[in-house]
Structure formats: C-alpha cells, structure tokens
Amino acid sequence: MSGNDAPLPPAWPEIWPEGQKLERWRDPNIVVTQFADHAAYHPQLMEAVLARTEDASIAHAYEQSDGVGSFKLFDLPSWGVPAAQLVHDRALQMFRRVFKTGDVHVDLSWASVYGPGDHVLPHSHPRTYAGVVYMLEPGDPPTEESGMFLFADARMPICCREEPGYMSTPCAPLLAPGMMIMFPGQAVHCVTPYLGTRPRITLSWNLNREEVPGEPLRPATRPPGQA
C-alpha cells in the first residue's frame, strides 16, 4: 500500500494542536510556528511529493533562464493525500489566526523540489496578501551558500542595518522540518542555489482575505526531462 492511500494512523494530528504557538520573527510582519508532531505525517507527505516528481503529467520544472530551477507540483488538495491536506489546512488556519478572520482564499498552492543548483531569484508574490512557506525537507544541511531562504527587502528594518530604507543585509530564518512561516506577499525573498544532493522540499501558498479575479500567475514551465 502506498503512502497516498494509506489509512490515517490512530494518532493522526489535529489541524491546529492545542497550545500551538504563533511567534513574530525578527520583523513584526513575519510570523512563524513549529509543528512538533511533523514526524507523524512527513513520511506520507515525502512519498507523495517524490512520487509526483516522476510523473511528467503533473510535475513542472521552472525554466533556469527565468532564474528558477526546481520541480513544482501544484494544487495540494487535489492530490488526495491526507498529509498534504493536513498541511494545507494548517496554512489556512495560520492565516485565520494571524489576521483574526474566518475568510481565507487560496490563489495558488504548490510544492517545490530542489536538486543540485536549483534556486529562486529575488521576487515577491503578486495577487497575494500573505505568502506561506512550510519546510518539509531541508535536504543536506543548509549553509550561507546553499539552499537558504532569504528576505532582501528595503522595507524590512532587519535587512537595513547600515541605513534605514537601504537593503544591505539579507536575513534568513532557519527553516527546520515542520516549520511554517507567513510573510507579506510584497516581501522580496529568494532561495540561494542549493548545493546538496538530497532533495530540498518546501510547500507554499498564496493566500488572500478575498478571492482574486483571474488566473493565478505561473512562470513558464516544462515537463521533467524536457530540454
């Protein structure tokens, strides 16, 4: 039996565990939380992600010429995998709790699978009130040169240590397995080239208080293995 259709274990985690804390990071607009129960569902989620990277009908590779190199697997709820649905529900619940609202709309959700050399250039998320990133698997230990999730935004004081309003110091929250981080959609961020060999895997969401008209924005993609 594959992890995709495995029954839920007896102690399947709650969407929002009792006592789960939200903490402000070093910038007041950035919130993090760490799910201590991630070991209960990460194996099923890892199996689902890795299996999908082998399926050319659903996995897409961002073009390196666009400054991005990683497999993208879109629309987590459509996978039919309990672990993917759990983390998806947790991202939505984090939004509700941070902004004290019952309304949340998903513009886009996806998994990113990074291999050697894969990276993301500095960017922000149009059509997005708040972005969420969840660390599933950091791969080989990240360093300042490898696979770091960085903010590099002149509107963030933590990035402007030399002079206010001038971005001089990118800052990097350490994303451990089971950690979820929420930040404004306008915040400029990137991922440095990943130099490890084991897959580095994150899950992401573009979230809004209200539904945004039109289609979500996706850069040009190509099926795995296609030049």
8 Å CB contact between 35 and 188: no
Query: What's residue 159's pLDDT?
Result: 96
- State the pLDDT at residue 166: 97
> Residue 227's pLDDT band (boundaries 50, 70, 90)?
very low
Tell me which H or E stretch contains 179: strand 179-184
pTM (two decimals)? 0.89
Cα(27)–Cα(132) distance, integer angstroms: 15
**Residue 143: pLDDT above 80?**
no
Spatial separation of the C-alpha atoms in residues 91 and 180, rounded to whole Å? 8
One-character DSSP codes across 200-218? EEEEEEEEESSPPSSPPP-
Long-range CB contacts (< 8 A, 24+ apart) of 37-41?
A: 37/13, 37/178, 38/177, 38/178, 40/9, 40/11, 40/12, 40/13, 41/12, 41/13, 41/82, 41/83, 41/86, 41/87
Handedness of CA 216, 211, 101, 13 (dihedral sign): negative
Chain centroid to CA 142: 16
Give the range among 6-15, 118-127, 139-148 with minimum mean pLDDT: 6-15
- CB of 221 within 8 A of CB of 63? yes
The end-to-end CA distance of the chain, in Å, is 34
What confidence score (pLDDT) does residue 98 get?
97
- Sequence-separated (6 or more) residues with CB below 8 Å from residue 169: 158, 159, 160, 161, 162
For the cut 90, the answer to whether the pLDDT of residue 161 exceeds it is yes
Residue 144 has a pLDDT of 65
Match 């992890």 to its residue by tokens: 3
Q: Give Cα 63 distance to the centre of its chain.
A: 19
Residue 140 tokens read as: 């080989």
Residue closest to 164 by CA, chosen among 155, 175, 151, 173: 155
User: Sheet of 31-34: strands edge to edge?
Assistant: 23-24, 31-34, 179-184, 130-137, 200-208, 105-114, 71-74, 60-62, 221-222
CATH superfamily of the 21-209 domain: q2cbj1_9rhob like domain (2.60.120.620)
pLDDT top residue among 154 and 218: 154
Query: Tell me: the pLDDT tens digits for 68-127?
Result: 667 889 999 999 999 999 999 999 999 999 999 999 999 999 999 998 888 888 999 999
Which among 55, 59, 97 is positioned nearest to 75, based on CA atoms? 59
Local confidence band at 9 (pLDDT 50, 70, 90 cut-offs):
low
